[in-house]
Amino acid sequence: MQVRSIVQAFSISVLSAAALVACGGGNGIGPGKPVTPPGQGPVKPVEEATPVSFTLEKIGGYETGVFGKSAAEIPAFDAASKRAFVVNAQSGKVDVLDLTDPAKPVRVGELASESVLAGSEINSVAVHGGIVAVAIQAKPKTANGRVAFYQAADLSLLSHVEVGAQPDMLTFTPDGRRVLTANEGEPSDDYQTDPEGSVSIIHIDNVKTPVVRTADFSAFNGRESELRKKGVRIFGPNANAARDFEPEYVALSADGKTAWATLQENNALAIIDVDAAKVLDVVPFGYKDHGVAGKGIDASDTDLKADIRTWPGVLGMYLPDAIAAYQAGGKTYLVTANEGDARAWGEGDAAYWGDGVVPGDASKGFVEEFRAKHLINAKGWGGRAGDDLPPQLNALAKGGLLNPASFAYCGAAAGTPGACRDDDKLGRLTVSWTQGYQTHADGSPVLYTSKGVQDPAGDRLMYDQLYAYGTRSFSIWNDKGEQVWDSGDAIEQFFASDACKLGASRTIPCKDFFNSNHEAGGSLDNRSDNKGPEPEGVVVGKIGSKHFAFIGLERMGGVLAYDITNPSAPQFVDYLNTREDWTTKDPSTVQAGDLGPEGLAFIPAAQSPNGKPLLLVGNEVSGSTTVMQLNLQY
């Protein structure tokens, strides 16, 4: 009772101080300005109380009514106008929601980019101090895009400026004076046009006349071999470093002077000097050894159950999507959601694959994904011609072998994969054919005969390792890109446990729908062969003296919350998944709830419409925006 009384008294004092701070008046006191009593110096702002823990609760949401077409992706929030801005990729616009009552969001308008750039669509949104920044993709996407600025209160267009190709995620520096955008620069579907990736740094001291500087990767051209040896993936057709690097997401230091951009397909991190608009370094994230205890995966989607095992010789490529930065102990740390993403262009063009008689045309695209059972078939991969055999792979050799030195444990021997190729082993796992096989110093493959004998006249590649997409985890790194902590196999283990429950009421056992797909019901184990739960989005929020990471899981759905105050020892806090129907084959026909979280936005209590910390979640499959409340425990 004594502790509770102290907490209550402290809460009352905090609320009283907050009320004083928030009051405007003739003395020039306004939001965010400390009250100065007569004859005294400035009063130090009252610090927010630090919770012991919290639970997530869905208190409201907005539904577009559009299923499976990315009608709700990236959310952002403006405290002054109490408005949420949510990218609606289906319409190519931003939906504007009034969150005055966060339990009942109301759509009050939209932001469209057609007047800025004909035929364009909006990819991302960010808000700071009443200014809304949107990333606008041109048509075609390989042309330079735009960033436009709007007034949050009345949605008026303030200005726009040209940036690189396919601007996607964008973010304000903490002081609001600059906006950084990740210009992804993806190739055309046939890979005939491949623009350079870059990060634009837009100065908006006067938002009506923005000035752009660009941090590009041209200084790394000619260093491709060096970067590959370090572990940076550079493998697009005829690509130099500048064209191959595809910035996905950007995080900033507390002083706004350093930025970090994930280069997702390259499995690398770009470190950027913001003031100089210069990429200082590109460092590899490395690979996760799924053969080590605590880092296993469920590699098969055929047994319809959770079967999380270690797999020596299988390495996970982090390939993170979202990244967030925070301070702990005076140092900056980075949090990544390790989604995994392959290069897969031209996969819808029949000419790329061929028809089994006419060979596939390698000039029509590039697909690096291949199922392990086809890659290591003792008969070679010719049987996949006209189906899913990439012509670039077929030009290298006629088949692949597993090195018994790495894979004897599952039955590999000279010239045969043994049971390793079985569906309940590694056969169903989707891997990259572009790496893992033995090469000479110049990068050309070391060839073997079909019997597993090394021979320059052979026609088989020898795979020492298999590289899988994503690591089914989230990680914490230091500011140099060195790993401090990784969640290992904790996410899949949690979904396989009795502790995990689904639905807003938390009554549905997770293990009954382990690794389900986000677009279909009755899909138990569906994603085990390919990236599992698929962590994609991450945002960090500070409450009192603690930092919390919120990780959105694209396929399994829902949001994981972790206390990351100690970067080397994060602690699980909560998980909430507000998908309600898990069995209907076509969830678009029922009130299925929220499916496919894409982006997240944390709203601290001081900026929240209801005075409590909130989390906004854009769900791309259900086309819904979820409002979650953090119910704090002291």
Domain positions in the chain are: 53-340+470-633, 345-468
Asked if 345 and 189 touch (Cβ cutoff 8 Å), the reply is yes
Mean pLDDT, residues 249-278 taken together: 98
Q: Lay out the sheet containing 211-216: strands in order across.
A: 167-172, 178-183, 198-203, 211-216
Q: Is 444 helix (H, G, I), strand (E, B) or coil?
A: coil
Strand-strand pairing, 287-289 and 314-317: antiparallel
How many helices and strands in the chain, by DSSP H and E?
8, 40
pLDDT class of 44 with cuts at 50, 70, 90: low
Q: How many CA atoms lie within 13 A of 370 on its CB side?
A: 30
pLDDT class of 22 with cuts at 50, 70, 90: very low
* pLDDT at residue number 238: 85
pLDDT class of 39 with cuts at 50, 70, 90: very low
Sign of CA dihedral 529, 497, 471, 55: positive
Average pLDDT of the residues of the chain: 93
E runs forming strands in 464-582: 466-469, 474-478, 483-486, 501-502, 508-509, 535-543, 546-553, 559-563, 571-576
Q: Is 20 helix (H, G, I), strand (E, B) or coil?
A: helix
* pLDDT at residue number 12: 32
Q: First vs last Cα of the chain: how many Å apart?
A: 13
3-state DSSP helix/strand/coil % of the chain, to nearest 5: 15, 35, 50
Mean pLDDT, residues 51-61 taken together: 98
Collect all residues with Cβ–Cβ distance below 8 Å to 560 and sequence separation of at least 6.
Answer: 474, 491, 535, 550, 551, 553, 572, 574, 575
Whether 9 has a pLDDT exceeding 90, the answer reads no
Q: Whole-prediction pTM value? A: 0.92
550-573 pLDDT, tens digit each: 999 999 999 999 999 999 999 999
* pLDDT at residue number 45: 62
* pLDDT at residue number 47: 83
Asked if 337 and 473 touch (Cβ cutoff 8 Å), the reply is no
91-137 pLDDT, tens digit each: 999 999 999 999 999 999 999 999 999 999 999 999 999 999 999 99
Which is nearest to 342 in space by CA: 265, 429, 288? Answer: 265
Q: What percent of the chain is modeled with pLDDT above 70? A: 93
Mean pLDDT, residues 324-333 taken together: 98
Here the contacts of 6-9 (C-beta below 8 Å, separation 24 or greater) are 7/49, 7/634
167-183 pLDDT, tens digit each: 999 999 999 999 999 99
Sign of CA dihedral 107, 113, 118, 124: negative
Q: What is the CATH number of domain 53-340+470-633?
A: 2.130.10.10
148-169: string of b/e by CB count within 10 Å (b at 16+)? bbbebeebeebbbbebbbbbbb
The CB density around residue 328, as the number of other CB atoms within 10 Å, is: 15
373-410 pLDDT, tens digit each: 999 999 999 999 999 999 999 999 999 999 999 999 99
* pLDDT at residue number 602: 98
pLDDT class of 41 with cuts at 50, 70, 90: low
pLDDT class of 43 with cuts at 50, 70, 90: low
